[in-house]
């Protein structure tokens, strides 16, 4: 389903999460870059007061990045807004598929009211990210026309829609992310190994040329440490394994869809599926707080 057809709360939470993620990663990149620059300047290429002032300024900027990251905690905003967005998303699919607690009723107003109340409770439980949600999407619908149109369909149409736009979309996303993280892990390990090799060569060259004043050993050490830190922050290997397992679990879930015949069976199936989708995300968010 097109992102624009989700509730306004989802759109704001998704945007806030993406913004906070970019802010956090950019702060980490800036800090590592400044530390590497400080190591390069530490080789004392020139002797002057201006050089030393610039050298000190680099440390000041690096410390500033650390302070901003420590007190603003954009990664916490990233995790909380993502959790909020995914909660709204999974509830949206329950609503569209007429799954518990948004079961069919005599009037569409009943499940609509139930859905709005659920969003209100989610928002109340996430007051701490309220400032991050301030955007134009707040004026959009919380129960969209597209959501109601899907909900009106018969069970077979809804099953097909859920299969194509939810289950298969999630399966493809996890498979794609697993591949991307595997490639990224191998690429960053390869770059780090190259840095190690260069560092080893510089040490060996210094044995034969003890007068080499600007051997880049220290900058290479900082660079290698930064690369290792970056891989730990992004958790490429861990996420690749986790996403692969989730993709297989979704594939197993998909097979059960063909056994669903009644509205009650479909409600149970949707809730079990949404639980599987949210479990991986919940575990991922929890790991960030360990």
Does residue 211 share a domain with residue 98?
A: no
| Residue 123 pLDDT | 84
Q: Cβ contacts of residue 31 below 8 Å, gap of 6+?
A: 62, 65, 66, 69
Question: Does the pLDDT of residue 231 top 90, yes or no?
Answer: yes
In whole angstroms, how large is the CA radius of gyration of the chain? 25
Is the pLDDT at 134 greater than 80, yes or no? no
Question: Tokens representing 180?
Answer: 């991307």
Task: Name 150's Cβ contacts closer than 8 Å, sequence gap at least 6.
Answer: 1, 96, 97, 158, 161
Q: What's the token pair of residue 149?
A: 């149109």
Residue 224 shares a structural domain with residue 108: no
Position 214 pLDDT exceeds 90: no
Which of 132, 152, 172 is the last residue before a domain boundary?
Answer: 152
For residues 244 and 283, membership in a common domain is answered with yes
CA 125, CA 120: separation in Å to the nearest integer? 9
CB-CB contact of 248 with 174 (8 Å):
no
What does the alpha-carbon distance between residue 194 and residue 151 come to, in Å, rounded to a whole number?
A: 55
pLDDT tens for each residue of 233-244: 999 998 899 889
Domain boundary (100, 134, 152) is at 152
Residue 171 corresponds to which tokens in the numbers above?
A: 């399966």
Decide: 200 and 182 in contact? Cβ < 8 Å: no
In this prediction, residue 223 carries a pLDDT of 95
One domain for residues 182 and 97 = no
**Domain boundary at 126, 152, 178, which?**
152
Q: Which domain holds residue 238?
A: 154-290
How many domains, the chain?
Answer: 2
How much is the pLDDT for 80?
86
pLDDT at 106: 81
| HSE of 136, CA atoms in CB hemisphere, 13 A | 1
Mean pLDDT of 203-211: 85
Compute the mean pLDDT over every residue in the chain, rounded to the nearest whole number: 88
pLDDT tens, residue by residue, 32-64: 999 999 999 988 888 888 899 999 999 999 999
Residues 121 and 161 in one domain: no
Residue 83: what pLDDT? 87
Q: Are residues 69 and 182 in the same domain?
A: no
227 and 184 together in one domain: yes
148 and 161, same domain (yes or no): no
pLDDT for 139 equals 53
Distance CA 20, CA 287 (A): 18
Instruction: Assess whether 263 and 125 both reside in one domain.
Output: no
């Amino acid at each position: 389903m097109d992102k624009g057809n989700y509730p306004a709360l989802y759109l704001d939470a998704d945007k806030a999460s993406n913004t906070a993620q970019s802010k956090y990663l950019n702060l980490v990149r800036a800090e590592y870059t400044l530390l590497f620059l400080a190591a390069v300047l530490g080789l004392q290429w020139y002797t002057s007061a201006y050089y030393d002032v610039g050298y000190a300024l680099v440390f000041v900027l690096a410390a500033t990045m650390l302070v901003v990251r420590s007190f603003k905690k954009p990664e916490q905003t990233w995790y909380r807004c993502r959790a909020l967005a995914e909660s709204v998303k999974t509830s949206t699919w329950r609503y569209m598929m007429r799954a518990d607690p948004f079961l069919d009723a005599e009037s569409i107003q009943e499940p609509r009211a139930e859905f709005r109340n659920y969003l209100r409770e989610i928002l109340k439980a996430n007051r701490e990210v309220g400032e991050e949600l301030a955007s134009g999407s707040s004026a959009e619908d919380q129960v969209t026309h597209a959501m109601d149109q899907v909900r009106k369909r018969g069970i077979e149409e809804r099953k097909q829609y859920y299969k194509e736009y939810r289950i298969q979309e999630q399966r493809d996303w996890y498979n794609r992310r697993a591949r991307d993280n595997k490639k990224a892990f191998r690429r960053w390990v390869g770059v780090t190994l190259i840095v190690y090799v260069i560092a080893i060569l510089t040490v060996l060259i210094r044995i034969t040329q003890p007068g080499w004043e600007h051997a880049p050993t220290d900058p290479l050490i900082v660079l290698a440490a930064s690369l290792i830190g970056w891989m730990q922050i992004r958790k490429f290997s861990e996420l690749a394994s986790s996403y692969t397992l989730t993709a297989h679990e979704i594939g197993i879930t998909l097979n059960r869809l063909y056994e669903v015949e009644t509205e009650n069976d479909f409600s149970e199936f949707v809730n079990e599926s949404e639980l599987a989708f949210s479990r991986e995300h919940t575990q991922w968010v929890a790991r960030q707080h360990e």
